[in-house]
Amino acid sequence: MSEPATCPICTMPELLVADDGFECATCGHEWLGDADNGHGEIRDANGNLLADGDAVTVVKDLKLDGKTGGVKSGTKIKSIRLVSGDHEIDGKVDGRQLLVKAAFVKKA
């Protein structure tokens, strides 16, 4: 098992190696095994394969904590980054960094 260069969430290089995986010393994110990409195939709501740098469109209104309004259906998220975990898509909407599930987006 080779040590990855950065955390998949915050991209900081301060990593702690555990018996079963890794933990980021900066944000506390934990993940198992090799983190070469760790996410496998990620598909959108229509079954299209997603890749880093793709643009996606939100297909369902999403509520956000701490901000009224949330993300409306039809909002485009450009230059996404795929990460491992429950919420597979990392992107910016209106200057705010968000993690979104792939089931709520379609490839633009």
pTM comes to: 0.62
State the CATH class of domain 56-107.
mainly beta
- Encode burial over 60-77: b for 16+ CB neighbours within 10 A, e otherwise: eebeeeeeeeebeeebeb
What are the Cα distances from residue 87, in Å, to 1, 3, 9, 16, 91? 25, 23, 11, 22, 11
As a whole number, the mean pLDDT across the chain is 83
List where CATH 2.30.30.40 sits in the chain: 56-107
Could you give the percent of the chain with pLDDT greater than 90?
Answer: 38
Is pLDDT above 70 for 34? Answer: no
Q: pLDDT of 46-75, one tens digit each?
A: 999 999 899 999 999 998 877 667 899 999
